[in-house]
Amino acid sequence: MSPKHSNKSDVHPVIKLLYDKTFRSIMYQVLVFGGVFLLGWYLVSNTMANLERQNIATGFGFLEREAAFGISESLIHYTPESNYGRALLVGITNTLKVSATGVILATILGTFIGIMTVSKNWLLRFIGLGYIETFRNIPILLQLIFWYAVINRGLPGVRDALSPLPNVFLSNRGLYLPVMADHPAWSWVGIGFIVGIIGAFLLRKWSLKRLEATGQIFPHLSVGIAVIFAVPFLVWLLFGAPTAMNAPSLQGFNMRGGIRMTPEFTALLLGLTLYTTTYIAEVVRSGILSVSRGQTEAATSLGLRYSWVMRLIILPQALRVIIPPMTNQYLNLTKNSSLAVAIGYPDLVSISNTTMNQTGQAVEAVAIFMTVYLSISLSISYFMNWYNKRMALVER
C-alpha cells in the first residue's frame, strides 16, 4: 500500500467525483445528449438564417396554393386547379398503391420460388436458384430502366396494339383491360364477397372447435374457399347475371374505356416485384430449412398427408423465422418505390420534386416526404411486429 492510498482525504473532491462511477455515467449521457441537441439546433437555426439571407420563401403556406401542373395517374380526384397539398396526397396514394401491390405480388411469387429452391426436382431447383442469382445481383434502378425501355420500345404503338385476348390491348401506352359496365349488381357482389370471407372465417372457427371436441375432421379450407366464391356468384345470379362490358377501344389519340395499367406503373411494379421476390424467396427457403427434418419424418410416420405436414407442422414453425426478415423486405420495397422518379411514375418523390421546383421550397418539401416515408415504414414495422407476436410459438 502506498502512502497516497492510505490517506484518502488528500484527494481533491472534484477528482474524487470524476472517479465516481454513477456520476461519470450520468455526465457522459448529459454530454452526448447536449451535443446532439446543440448540433440539431445549429443546423436548424443556420438553415433558417441562410434561407432568410437569400430571401427564399419558407413555411408551409404553399400547400394551399394552386398546383397548376397535371398528374398522369391518380387514385383520388385531382386537376391542375387542385392545391399542392392535394398533389402531394396524390403522390402518397400512388406510392402506397405501387408498394401494396408490390408487397402482395412479391410475397406470393417469393413463396413459390422459395419452395422451388428446396424442391427435390433438379430442374425446379435450378430455375429457382438461377432466377434468384440473376435478379438479386442487378441494381434495382437498372432493372427499372430496363423494363421501362422494354415496354416503350419493345411494344407496338397504340394504333397497332397487340390484342392477345378479345378486348385486351397491349401497347407502349400500357395494358388495357375490359371491366364490367356499371350495374347496381356489382356493388352487391362486392358485399357478397366480403360476406363470403366472413362466412369462411366462421366456418373455420366452427370446424376447429368441432375438431377439438369430437376429433372429426371437416375440410374447412376447401369448403371455405368455395363459400367465398359461391356467395358473390349467387348474388350475381340473383341480379339477373348482367354481362355488359366496358371494353377499351381506340378513340382519338388513345384507348378509352376499360381499365388501364400505365407503362410507368407496370415497369415500376415489375421491377420492384421481381427484385424483392429474390430476397423473399431466400427468406422463405431459410425458414423452411430451419425446421429440422426430424419433424417432417415424425409427421409422415404418423400418417399425415404431405399438404398437412406443410400446413400444420412446417409452415407454422417456419413463419417464426420468416416474419422478421420479411418485414425488412417489405420496408425495402416501399422505400425502393421512390426510384419511380427515374421512369416518370408520379410517386411521392416525383411530385415533391416538381413541387419544390415550382415553389422553390426544397427544405419543406423534403421534410414532408421524409416524414411520410418514415410514417409508412413505421406503420409496416408496427403491423409486422404485431403479426410476429401473434404467430410466435405458444408453448403449452
Partner 1 sequence: MLKKLTSTTAIAALSVTMLASGVQAGATFDAIKSQGYIQCGVNTSLPGFSAPIDGVWQGLDVDLCRGIAAAVFGDADAVRYTPLTAAQRFTALQSGEVDVLSRNTTWTLTRDTALGLNFAGVNYYDGQGFMVRADLGVNSATQLDGAAICVEPGTTTELNLADYFRAQGMSFEPVVIENTAEATAAFFSGRCDVYTTDMSGLASARNVDAENPADYLILPEVISKEPLGPAVRHGDDQWMDVVRWTLTAMIEAEEYGITSENVDEMRDTSTNPGIRRLLGVTPGMGEALGVSEDWAYNIIKQVGNYGESYQTNVTDLLGLDRGLNALWTEGGLMYAYPVR
Minimum distance, C-beta of residue 295 to partner 1, in the bound complex (Å): 47
Dihedral class, residue 241 (left if φ above 0, else alpha if ψ from -120 to 50, else beta):
left
Using an 8 Å Cβ cutoff, are 339 and 264 in contact? no
Size of the site for partner 1 (CB under 8 A): 55
Q: Which residue in 179, 245, 363, 384 binds partner 1 (CB under 8 A)? A: 363
> Which cell numbers in the block locate residue 105?
405480388
Return d(Cα 51, Cα 362) in angstroms, integer: 11
With contacts defined by CB under 8 A, name the span among 74-82, 95-103, 110-118, 240-248 that binds partner 1.
Answer: 74-82
Positions in 221-250 near partner 1 (CB under 8 A): none
Span near partner 1 by CB under 8 A; candidates 118-126, 271-279, 280-288, 350-358: 350-358
Q: Least Å distance between CB 90 and partner 1?
A: 12
- By CB under 8 A, tell whether 153 contacts partner 1: yes
Q: Does 64 bind partner 1 (CB under 8 A)?
A: no
Burial class (CB in 10 A: 0-12, 13-18, 19+), 141: middle
Pairwise CA distance, residues 175 & 263, whole Å: 8
Out of 253, 301, 390, 393, the residue judged to bind partner 1 by CB under 8 A: 253
245-246/179-180 β-pairing: antiparallel
**Of these, 167, 359, 381, 388, which contacts partner 1 (CB under 8 A)?**
359
Q: By C-alpha distance, which of 154, 151, 161 is closest to 250?
A: 161
Return the range that interacts with partner 1 (CB under 8 A); candidates 44-52, 103-111, 231-239, 274-282.
Answer: 44-52
263 binds partner 1 (CB under 8 A): yes
Of 51, 138, 304, 310, which lies in the binding site for partner 1, with binding defined by CB under 8 A? 51
Contact 281, 114 (CB under 8 A): yes
User: In this structure, are residues 140 and 336 in contact, taking their beta carbons and an 8 Å threshold?
Assistant: yes
Query: Is 161 an interacting residue with respect to partner 1 (CB under 8 A)?
Result: no
26-34, 314-322, 359-367, 381-389 -> range binding partner 1 (CB under 8 A): 359-367
Q: In whole angstroms, how large is the CA radius of gyration of the chain?
A: 29
- What phi and psi, each to the nearest 5 degrees, are found at residue 263? -60, -35
Nearer to partner 1, 95 or 111 (CB): 95
Q: Which helix (H) or strand (E) holds 169?
A: strand 169-171
Residue indicated by cell numbers 421501362: 148
Q: Identity (one letter) of the amino acid at 379?
A: S
Residue with cell string 438564417: 49
Binding of partner 1 by 42 (CB under 8 A): yes
Binding-residue pattern over the window 328 to 347 for partner 1, x denoting contact by CB under 8 A: ----------xx-xxxx-x-
How far apart are CB 76 and partner 1 at their closest, in Å?
A: 17
Using CA atoms, how far apart are residues 362 and 63, in angstroms rounded to an integer?
13
Show contacts with partner 1 in window 92-151 (CB under 8 A).
141, 145
Which one of 350, 372, 376, 380 is in contact with partner 1 (CB under 8 A)? Answer: 350
Query: Grid coordinates representing 258?
Result: 376499360
Q: Give the interface with partner 1 as residue ranges (CB under 8 A).
A: 42-43, 46-47, 50-51, 53-57, 68-72, 79-81, 141, 145, 152-153, 157-158, 172-173, 251-254, 256, 263-264, 338-339, 341-344, 346, 349-350, 353-354, 356-363, 365-366
